[in-house]
Every structure is written in C-alpha cells, then in structure tokens.
Amino acid sequence: MAYELIETIEVGAGGAASIEFTSIPQDGVDLVCLVSGRATSSSAGGIEVRLSGDTSSNYLQRNLLGTGSGVSSTGGTDTAFQLATNPSTYTSNTFGNMSFYVCNYTSSATKSIKVDLVSENNAAAGFQRLISGHWNNTAAVTALKIFKPGDNLAQYSTASLYKIY
Amino acid sequence: MTDTPVKVIVDLSKPKGERESIIPLTDEEIAERDAQAVQAEAERVEQEAIEAQKAADAQAGRDALVTLGLTEAQINALLGA
C-alpha cells in the first residue's frame, strides 16, 4: 500500500468559497484528502465535503465529538459530510486539520468514509471529531468539493489529494 | 463594492501546473451561498439555545436532588460525574 500525491492546492489572497477536485484519476484503491483550513467568518458551522456533485441526502455519518469542555456523539443524514475547521475567532494564523478517507472510491458499491479532525486554538475551546461515514451512492468518486456554506476558506488553507494503491 | 467570491477548480485531467482555475461564483451560486449563511447563523443560534437549556436542566436536576437531601458526592456518583 502506497500513498501517491495527486495534487496540493493552497487558497490565495481573498480566500475562496470552495476547492473542488474534478476528473479524479480512477487508478487508485482508496482516496485521502488532507485539509488544513480556516474560515473567514466566526460562524460555528464547519466545512463540508461533497462527492461527485451529489446533492442528495446520501451522506450518513456518526460522530464522536470533543469540544474542550465536554464530549458527545451525534449523527444523521445530510446532503454533504458535515466536518469542521477553525472559525475566524480562533487564535490568529491557526488552522484546523482534517483527514478525509474514502475506501474503494472507484467501486460500484456504496462507499465507507473515515474522518478525523482537530481544530487548533490557544484556548479551552477546541474541537476534535472521529467520524464513521457512509456515502450511499454506487457511483465512483470522480470529484471532491470542500466548502463552508455561506463562508470562505481563508488564504493559506490547503487541500492535498492522495490516492492509495 | 465587495469582491465577487471565487471557487478554486482543480481539473486533474490536465497536466500539473495547468490544473487550477479561479472562477468567480455565478449570481445563482452567490444567492445560494447567502441563503446558506443565513441558515448557518440560525443553526448556530438554535444550537446555543439548546446547549444553554441542557445546562439549565442539568443544574435544575442537581438542585432538586440537593433539595431531596442527597450530598454532592452522592449526586456525582449517581450521575457518573
């Protein structure tokens, strides 16, 4: 098993509403996207990941959460995977980190997803999540979109896409 | 006047160095994004209210147990705190 970097993208000045990888090569087994992100607003909502342009309610996830002051678990179904990154209120120049893993991304079966992420903040408030997910779609993953609804990814946010074979 | 928000499209069918395009959002995408921002703020407010209510309920429950005569240690043991 080996990781092969497909592409790394860094958001430029002014930020960006989304990063979208398209025409993902179909010669790997698993797919991994590593994101270092920060939002430009203070809104609590996190970043989201959408696969192959699918806007249906095909994204199922179960979360284990830590907030810095407690722990909890949540879950549900949505139109994208619900993740998280640093809001603008967190310590300046800090970025949240996330690993988004798709198993058998070219297969004609529905896909298992694994995510782990942490925020970075020099304060008590900081979050961590472990997510087991399921993309209830049998299509191959040909595109991956990272976005924060109603907000921008800040300059210097990065996304790196790897295939594993 | 504010800058039009952009999206970064990375077309992996192209050679390295030619893949990245910075594309302004369409009016439709901007409208959708504005609606999402309103929804996100509403969800944030709702979530804060839920958390505040949970904390208030937890404290009210503790207070009720104290009124019944339980000690702090007994309450903690009972609640697994």
Kindly report the nearest CA distance between residue A6 and chain B, in angstroms.
Answer: 8
Contact A146, A33 (CB under 8 A): yes
Q: Is B8 within 8 Å of A149 when comparing Cβ atoms? A: no
Q: Which pLDDT band, with edges at 50, 70 and 90, does A45 fall under? A: low
Tell me the domain boundaries of chain A: 3-164
Q: Is B12 within 8 Å of A24 when comparing Cβ atoms? A: yes
Cβ-based burial of A90 (10 A; exposed 0-12, middle 13-18, buried ≥19): buried
Kindly report the nearest CA distance between residue B17 and chain A, in angstroms.
Answer: 10
DSSP secondary structure string, A37-90? EBBSS------EEEETT--SS-EEEEEEEE-SS-EEEEEEEESSEE---B-TTS
Contact A158, A16 (CB under 8 A): no
* Closest by Cβ to B40, choosing from A16, A23, A150: A150
For B29-66, the pLDDT digits (tens) are 889 888 877 877 787 788 778 888 988 999 999 999 99
Question: Which residue of chain B has the CA closest to A17?
Answer: B7
Q: Which residues of A touch B3 (CB under 8 A)?
A: 14
Interface confidence, given as ipTM, is 0.91
For A55-109, the pLDDT digits (tens) are 999 999 999 989 888 888 888 998 999 888 888 888 999 999 999 999 999 999 9
Q: Is A9 within 8 Å of B41 when comparing Cβ atoms? A: no
Q: How many CB pairs below 8 A link A and B?
A: 78
Distance, in Å, from the CA atom of A97 to the CA atom of A120, rounded to the nearest integer, reads 8
**What would be the CATH architecture of the domain defined by A3-164?**
Sandwich (2.60)
